[in-house]
Structure 1
Amino acid sequence: MKLIQSIARSAFVAALAVASLAIHADTLDSIRAAKKVRISIDLANPPSGMTDSSMRPTGSDYDVAALLAKDLGVALEIVPTTGATRIPNLQTNKADLVISTLAFTPERAKVIDYSIPYAGQVSLVGGIKGVNAKSMADLAGKSIAVNRSTTQDADLTANAKGATIVRYDDDAAVITAAVTGQADLVATSGALFQTMVNKAPARQLEPKFVLRTFDLGVGMRKEEPKLMAWVNDWVRTNMKNGKLNEIFKKYHGADIPESVVSQAK
């Protein structure tokens, strides 16, 4: 009986060890085994993520994701997202990575990990020419549109005292609000604001003030050392060979900020 109990205990311990290894298996191994990488991209966030006239995905974040999948030797599966669902998509294992203008913040870094930055993003407040808004203090008593759960939303919530913050569920809705006159002020990225300016020249939209400049990283779940090492090496390689800058310049009309490039050296 004791022998049987000892064998049973050994089998149980072995099963726990196997289960523990499975739980802690690095996502990089799973990606290679599946021969595909699932990457969350917001395709309603031009010029970083969008669809062309044939409804095919395009944009700087899409091109970065496609290059990463190609260099990893696997197929790319896009997991559609909005600003609010990027991190939940990682936490619920719907996506392996997020490449979707994911700016580094200390709050986000508590629940996910970031690669070294692959691009940069200016965050600003913009609006129609007749509205005076040179600082957060000037937003008091005014209404301002923002994409829910973004860094711009967090900045407004913390600092725009007395402002009415109108939150939308995605960037497409914010663009529509600015272009159609539903919103005279918006908080968004510099690239997205330029899209608004181009879509509605009659609105006379202009930048008001810069909130801050962000590093954009590839997001992944915590405790993924092999995946983190591979992605960081990939960013360094493609920053050095100019491919990431080529993608950024194609869609944003400028080089990646030197403050970002220097972190990949």
Structure 2
Amino acid sequence: MKYLLSGLVVALGLAGCSKPAEQQPTSTIEQIKKNDVVRIGVFTDKPPFGYLDEKGTNQGFDVEIAKQVAKDLLGDEKKVQFVSTEAANRVEYLKSNKVDIIFANLTVTPERAQVVDFASPYLKVSLGVVSPKTNLITNLDQLKDKTLLVNKGTTADSFFSKQHKEIKLQKYEQNTETFDALKDGRGVALAHDNLLVLAWAKENPNYQVGITTLGQHDYIAPAVKKGDKELLDWLNKDLDKLKKEGVMHQAYEKTLKPVYGNGISEKDLLVE
């Protein structure tokens, strides 16, 4: 009996000396601060919004804004991990917790709003169609029974799949694949965000955007995981601050104006 009591006292003593379990972060912001890095999904093949330069460094309008968000959240713009995304997996990366925020030129749509939470928009956009100057497409009637190139999961994919089934679609995962297909003649034209095709045509003078505005005007906004209200509220406040401080204007001057020049007005692109 003596030994049993002695063992019980020792066991109780050891239990009393055990360290309490480390408390796990209760929110995304707490987890980000604990990790000391914020994971932001961006494009790496969609200049001038998100791309890799010759040194493999992330550049573009979305990247500039994302770095400022990281600075405001963690005190240093270098404390961001850029995660390369494609059009079709942006939403999935949020749902599967591969990223904390998406800054990959994501157009706000009702369908997407059901599965992610959009923050305040920062860019205006519509669809555009680019084609060779030698066979310029200027209206949709010219595309009937022809092959149009689009990216999977984009607003162009949705628009033509639902509203113009008389047009054949050839779909690709990556922007580079889609534009290479246009150069190879695998389609008569390519449809994408008008901001992208206008920029691409300037770099490829044998091509022209014959349809500059198609469908309704939409907005581009960052997004967070559905239901993450704390991070969403913080992001909305930060975006409002960045707009008031002129950060959006500075990012436009650095990344977009050199591409569009005076052909497109800043007020027609930025959401203030």
TM-score range for the pair, normalised by the shorter chain length: 0.7 to 0.9
Distance 1:206 1:45 in 2: 17
One of 131, 134, 137 as aligned partner of 2:139: 134
Residue matched to 1:210: 213
1:109 matched to 2:110: no
What's the CA shift string for 1:142-187, capped at 9, x where partnerless? Answer: 1110111111110010112211101011111122223343333111
* Amino acid paired to 1:257: D
Distance 2:239 2:57 in 1: 25
Distance 1:65 1:259 in 2: 16
Moved more, 203-212 or 233-242: 203-212
* Amino acid paired to 1:35: D
Secondary structure of the residue that 2:266 maps to in structure 1? Answer: coil
Alpha carbons 1:139, 1:160 under 8 Å: kept: no
Alignment of 1:44-55 (within 5 A): 44-55=45-56
TM-fit CA distance, 1:259: 7.6
Alpha carbons 1:144, 1:164 under 8 Å: kept: yes
Distance 2:269 2:48 in 1: 20
Larger Rg: 2
Residue matched to 2:191: 187
TM-fit CA distance, 1:258: 7.2
Alignment of 1:177-256 (within 5 A): 177-201=181-205, 203-211=206-214, 212-253=216-257, 254-256=265-267
Question: Over aligned residue pairs, what C-alpha RMSD do you find?
Answer: 2.2
Moved more, 190-199 or 229-238: 190-199
Alpha carbons 1:104, 1:215 under 8 Å: kept: yes
Unaligned runs of 5+ in 1: 1-17
The alpha-carbon distance between structure 1 residues 256 and 44, as it changes in their structure 2 partners (threshold 3 A), is farther
Residue matched to 2:177: 173
Alignment of 1:79-98 (within 5 A): 79-98=83-102
Distance 1:119 1:200 in 2: 24
The alpha-carbon distance between structure 1 residues 181 and 198, as it changes in their structure 2 partners (threshold 3 A), is farther
Residue matched to 1:42: 43
* Amino acid paired to 1:32: K
Secondary structure of the residue that 1:117 maps to in structure 2? Answer: coil
Moved more, 100-109 or 183-192: 183-192
Moved more, 206-215 or 157-166: 206-215
Distance 2:138 2:184 in 1: 20
TM-fit CA distance, 1:252: 2.1
TM-fit CA distance, 1:256: 4.8
The alpha-carbon distance between structure 1 residues 83 and 258, as it changes in their structure 2 partners (threshold 3 A), is closer
TM-fit CA distance, 1:104: 0.4
1:32 matched to 2:36: no
* Amino acid paired to 1:178: L
Distance 1:88 1:220 in 2: 11
TM-fit CA distance, 1:255: 1.6
TM-fit CA distance, 1:138: 4.1
Alpha carbons 1:43, 1:80 under 8 Å: kept: yes
Alpha carbons 2:146, 2:188 under 8 Å: kept: no
Distance 2:203 2:186 in 1: 14
TM-fit CA distance, 1:209: 4.5
Aligned residue pair count: 239
Identity of aligned residues (%): 25
Residue matched to 2:10: none
